[in-house]
């Protein structure tokens, strides 16, 4: 779409209306009388032109206010009708004729033709200086454009502050949606949705609006009055970054009409988003972030279970009638911003393609998480699918080169299978549990239901009583291990993990039984307790789990 102001729009600070032009001193002094088009005086005047030739319409582009003394109107009714019709077809804002030597009053043919064509026609009863009228109107137009740019600049300033404050693309789109009062979308050049913001009449979610107006008709032109602005992406060697299109901003006139100030604001915001997208580097990451935002909003209750299925379909997730399985992977070490998340999203998606069930994969770089939803045919598939998904997730991390030597392995937590409401709670539970599970013995995946104690201890990690409890329970052993060899904490952990079965403990530690007995006796001596006492075993087990969270 052309970025110039379209005279068909209402002004909204973009220019001057015909009504305003008639109120300025230059034209007001001519005692203007509106003979036709009184209901169209809110048209925007793009420019002022003066002329006295019959073919003046061929010199105009549309949106002008034409000043004339009438010498080019012709003397015959046919000439006058043709003159007015061509001006109306050209789309001028208004025709203003100064009465004088040529006309003492405008001919009825001229007036009737203007009324039929819907062209505002004004006669001036006094002589005016056309140059003064032109200067006044042009000054108003320039001032209007300046005010327009100021409003757009304020929106750009807010977008910039949001990004500098740690926000991202959703925050920028939310600002644009709030400013225009209409939903805003960021889509790929191919028409796939990346992000959405704003609402529509009746409180419909923006994703539902997009699905109805854009998602089903990617090849059709957008609704009339829409604003589409390309976000430049650039590439290697592109220099200015304008050599290609990274994405497209779409502003749809759902709640109200769009005006030039909205287009200017969107164009300026596109320049800001171009920087964000260049930093992200890959469209895969953008799409994965958008899906990660959706899954996080679902987990945190910002999207209801009733609205979630339609929005998930827009994002490409179409499960069957079976239960949904929430899964969250948390990386052992954070990934640097930039291409890392794009590589990870692509590698994991490719690995998951062999799982054989519908998958919605997202990324959350800030939290270092990869949330997923999977569509099962039956709840009985949960364990088998979880095995395949965990293998695919870890393989994707390795392919992306994100598993550095010595780094903690990623943690995969699988929630409870169920409907959309259960998926919301399951994603939230799995995300929290994935954080609490770091430091546990590595395994392909964890069942979120079996980590509730670890989650509870993690939530208490900053409470001084938890650190005091750990010190009372196992402090003497930690002190011993700092001074003496061999360390006893690994022996205690393995012993408790095997529920006090000494033969299995000795076998895992590669110890003979007598050596194990001696170490267990030393532990009991240091703690002043009996390791066969169930209450003691419970206390020590909790303390060993809690020590991962208290430093």
**Per-residue confidence at 3, pLDDT binned at 50, 70, 90?**
very low
Q: 147-158 burial, b if ≥16 CB within 10 A, otherwise e?
A: ebbebbeebbeb
Question: Is residue 322 located within the same domain as residue 434?
Answer: yes
Establish if 429 belongs to a structural domain.
Answer: yes
Highest mean predicted confidence (pLDDT) among 4-18, 343-357, 405-419, 518-532 = 518-532
Out of 280, 314, 348, a domain closes at 280
Least confident of 54-63, 140-149, 198-207, 402-411: 198-207
How far apart CA 133 and CA 68 sit, in angstroms, is 12
**Per-residue confidence at 334, pLDDT binned at 50, 70, 90?**
low
Sheet holding 193-197, edge to edge: 193-197, 184-187, 245-251, 227-232
Number of folded domains that form the chain: 4
In the block, tokens 């009053």 appear at: 105
pLDDT of residue 10: 40
413: Cβ contacts below 8 Å, ≥ 6 apart: 327, 328, 329, 330, 430, 431, 433, 434, 437, 445, 446, 447, 448, 451
More confident residue, 15 or 364: 364
pLDDT of residue 6: 36
Instruction: Please return the burial class of 25, using the count of CB atoms within 10 Å of its CB with bins 0-12, 13-18 and 19+.
Output: exposed
pTM: 0.51
For residue 247, the surrounding DSSP H or E stretch is: strand 245-251
How far apart CA 230 and CA 1 sit, in angstroms, is 10
Given a cut of 50, whether residue 338 has pLDDT beyond it is: no
Q: Tell me the average pLDDT across 21-32.
A: 93
Contact yes or no for 330/410 (Cβ under 8 A): yes
Establish if 161 belongs to a structural domain.
Answer: no
Given a cut of 50, whether residue 9 has pLDDT beyond it is: no
Distance of CA 282 to the CA centre of its chain: 15
Highest mean predicted confidence (pLDDT) among 189-193, 344-348, 405-409 = 344-348
Given a cut of 50, whether residue 481 has pLDDT beyond it is: yes
Establish if 4 belongs to a structural domain.
Answer: no
Given a cut of 70, whether residue 211 has pLDDT beyond it is: no
Establish if 310 belongs to a structural domain.
Answer: yes
Q: At what angle do helices 420-436 and 283-299 cross, to 10 degrees?
A: 100
**CATH of residue 482:** 1.10.10.2840
Question: Is residue 324 located within the same domain as residue 293?
Answer: yes
Question: Is residue 173 located within the same domain as residue 120?
Answer: no
pLDDT digits (tens, 9 = 90+) for 385-424: 999 999 888 888 887 776 666 667 889 999 999 999 999 9
Establish if 8 belongs to a structural domain.
Answer: no
**Per-residue confidence at 118, pLDDT binned at 50, 70, 90?**
very high
Question: Is residue 417 located within the same domain as residue 290?
Answer: yes
3-class SS of residue 453: helix
How far apart CA 319 and CA 377 sit, in angstroms, is 9
Question: Is residue 105 located within the same domain as residue 217?
Answer: no
Give the DSSP per-residue string, 446-464: EEGGGGHHHHHHHHTTT-H
Highest mean predicted confidence (pLDDT) among 98-112, 217-231, 238-252, 438-452 = 98-112
How far apart CA 452 and CA 480 sit, in angstroms, is 30
551: Cβ contacts below 8 Å, ≥ 6 apart: 467
In the block, tokens 């320039």 appear at: 142
71: Cβ contacts below 8 Å, ≥ 6 apart: 52, 102
Given a cut of 70, whether residue 376 has pLDDT beyond it is: yes
pLDDT of residue 201: 53
Highest mean predicted confidence (pLDDT) among 186-195, 240-249, 349-358 = 349-358
Contact yes or no for 84/119 (Cβ under 8 A): yes
pLDDT digits (tens, 9 = 90+) for 254-279: 888 888 888 888 888 888 888 777 66
Given a cut of 70, whether residue 305 has pLDDT beyond it is: yes
Question: Is residue 443 located within the same domain as residue 297?
Answer: yes
How far apart CA 522 and CA 203 sit, in angstroms, is 68
Out of 451, 484, 514, a domain closes at 451
Dihedral angle, C-alpha 359, 363, 367, 368, nearest 10 °: 90
How far apart CA 278 and CA 338 sit, in angstroms, is 9
Q: Tell me the average pLDDT across 351-373.
A: 87
More confident residue, 502 or 241: 502
What are the structure tokens assigned to 69, written together? 């003394």
Instruction: Please return the burial class of 133, using the count of CB atoms within 10 Å of its CB with bins 0-12, 13-18 and 19+.
Output: buried
In the block, tokens 């997923």 appear at: 372
**Per-residue confidence at 11, pLDDT binned at 50, 70, 90?**
very low
3-class SS of residue 246: strand
**CATH of residue 81:** 3.40.1390.20
Nearest partner of 178 among 248, 297, 260, 265, judged by Cα: 265
3-class SS of residue 232: strand
Question: Is residue 325 located within the same domain as residue 296?
Answer: yes
What are the structure tokens assigned to 327, written together? 């899964």
Question: Is residue 226 located within the same domain as residue 187?
Answer: yes
Given a cut of 60, whether residue 327 has pLDDT beyond it is: yes
Question: Is residue 306 located within the same domain as residue 429?
Answer: yes
Q: Tell me the average pLDDT across 460-469.
A: 88
Question: Is residue 100 located within the same domain as residue 177?
Answer: no
Establish if 183 belongs to a structural domain.
Answer: yes
**CATH of residue 268:** 3.30.450.40
**Which residue range(s) make up the domain with 77?**
16-139
447: Cβ contacts below 8 Å, ≥ 6 apart: 413, 414
How far apart CA 121 and CA 102 sit, in angstroms, is 17
Establish if 218 belongs to a structural domain.
Answer: yes
More confident residue, 403 or 139: 139
**Per-residue confidence at 174, pLDDT binned at 50, 70, 90?**
confident
Nearest partner of 324 among 392, 446, 431, 425, judged by Cα: 425
Distance of CA 82 to the CA centre of its chain: 52
Average pLDDT, the chain: 83
Residues in the chain: 551
How far apart CA 122 and CA 134 sit, in angstroms, is 16
**CATH of residue 391:** 3.30.70
Give the DSSP per-residue string, 359-413: EEE--BTTTTEEEEEEE-SSGGGHHHHHHHHHHHHHHHHHHTT---TTPPPPEEE
pLDDT of residue 340: 67
Given a cut of 80, whether residue 346 has pLDDT beyond it is: no
pLDDT of residue 246: 76
Establish if 147 belongs to a structural domain.
Answer: no
**Per-residue confidence at 214, pLDDT binned at 50, 70, 90?**
low
Question: Is residue 355 located within the same domain as residue 384?
Answer: yes
Question: Is residue 38 located within the same domain as residue 70?
Answer: yes
Phi, psi for 68 (deg, rounded to 5) = -155, 155
**Per-residue confidence at 353, pLDDT binned at 50, 70, 90?**
confident
Out of 451, 479, 494, a domain closes at 451
Say how many C-beta atoms besides its own lie within 10 A of residue 242's C-beta: 12
pLDDT of residue 277: 72
């Amino acid at each position: 779409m052309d970025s110039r102001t379209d005279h068909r729009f209402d002004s909204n600070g973009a220019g001057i209306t015909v009504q305003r032009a008639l109120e300025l001193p230059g034209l007001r002094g001519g005692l203007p009388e509106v003979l036709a088009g009184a209901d169209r005086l809110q048209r925007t005047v793009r420019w002022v032109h003066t002329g006295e030739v019959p073919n003046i319409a061929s010199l105009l582009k549309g949106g002008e206010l034409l000043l004339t003394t009438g010498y080019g109107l012709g003397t015959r009714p046919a000439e006058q009708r043709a003159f007015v019709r061509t001006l109306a077809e050209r789309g001028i804002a208004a025709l203003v004729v100064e009465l004088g030597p040529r006309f003492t009053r405008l001919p009825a043919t001229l007036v009737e033709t203007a009324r039929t064509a819907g062209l505002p026609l004004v006669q001036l009863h006094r002589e005016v200086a056309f140059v003064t009228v032109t200067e006044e109107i042009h000054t108003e137009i320039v001032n209007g454009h300046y005010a327009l740019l100021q409003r757009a600049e304020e929106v750009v300033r807010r977008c910039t502050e949001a990004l500098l404050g740690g926000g991202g693309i959703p925050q920028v789109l939310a600002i644009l949606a709030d400013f225009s009062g209409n939903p805003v979308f960021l889509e790929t050049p191919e028409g796939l949705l990346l992000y959405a913001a704003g609402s529509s009449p009746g409180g419909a979610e923006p994703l539902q609006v997009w699905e109805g107006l854009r998602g089903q008709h990617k090849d059709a032109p957008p609704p009339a009055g829409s604003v589409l602005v390309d976000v430049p992406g650039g590439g290697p060697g592109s220099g200015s970054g304008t050599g290609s299109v990274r994405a497209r901003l779409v502003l749809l006139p759902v709640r109200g009409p769009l005006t030039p100030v909205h287009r200017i604001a969107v164009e300026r915001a596109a320049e800001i988003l171009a920087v964000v997208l260049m930093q992200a580097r890959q469209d895969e990451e953008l799409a994965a972030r958008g899906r990660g935002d959706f899954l996080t909003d679902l987990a945190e209750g910002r999207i209801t279970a009733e609205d979630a299925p339609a929005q998930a379909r827009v994002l490409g997730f179409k499960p069957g009638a079976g239960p949904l399985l929430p899964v969250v992977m948390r990386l052992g070490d954070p990934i640097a911003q930039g291409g890392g998340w794009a590589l990870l999203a692509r590698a994991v998606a490719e690995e998951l393609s062999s799982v054989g069930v519908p998958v919605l994969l997202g990324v959350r770089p800030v939290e270092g998480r990869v949330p997923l939803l999977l569509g099962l045919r039956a709840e009985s598939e949960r364990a088998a699918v979880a095995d395949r998904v965990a293998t695919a997730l870890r393989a994707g991390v390795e392919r992306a080169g994100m598993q550095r030597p010595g780094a903690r392995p990623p943690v995969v937590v699988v929630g409870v299978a169920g409907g959309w409401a259960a998926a919301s709670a399951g994603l939230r539970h799995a995300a929290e549990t994935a954080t609490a599970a770091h430091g546990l013995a590595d395994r392909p995946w964890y069942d979120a239901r079996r980590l509730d104690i670890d989650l509870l201890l993690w939530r208490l990690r900053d409470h001084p009583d938890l650190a005091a409890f750990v010190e009372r329970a196992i402090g003497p052993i930690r002190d011993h291990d700092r001074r003496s060899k061999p360390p006893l904490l690994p022996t205690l952990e393995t012993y408790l993990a095997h529920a006090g079965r000494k033969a299995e403990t000795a076998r895992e530690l590669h110890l003979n039984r007598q050596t194990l007995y001696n170490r267990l006796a030393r532990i009991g001596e240091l703690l002043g307790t009996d390791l066969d006492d169930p209450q003691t075993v419970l206390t020590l087990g909790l303390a060993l789990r809690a020590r991962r969270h208290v430093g």
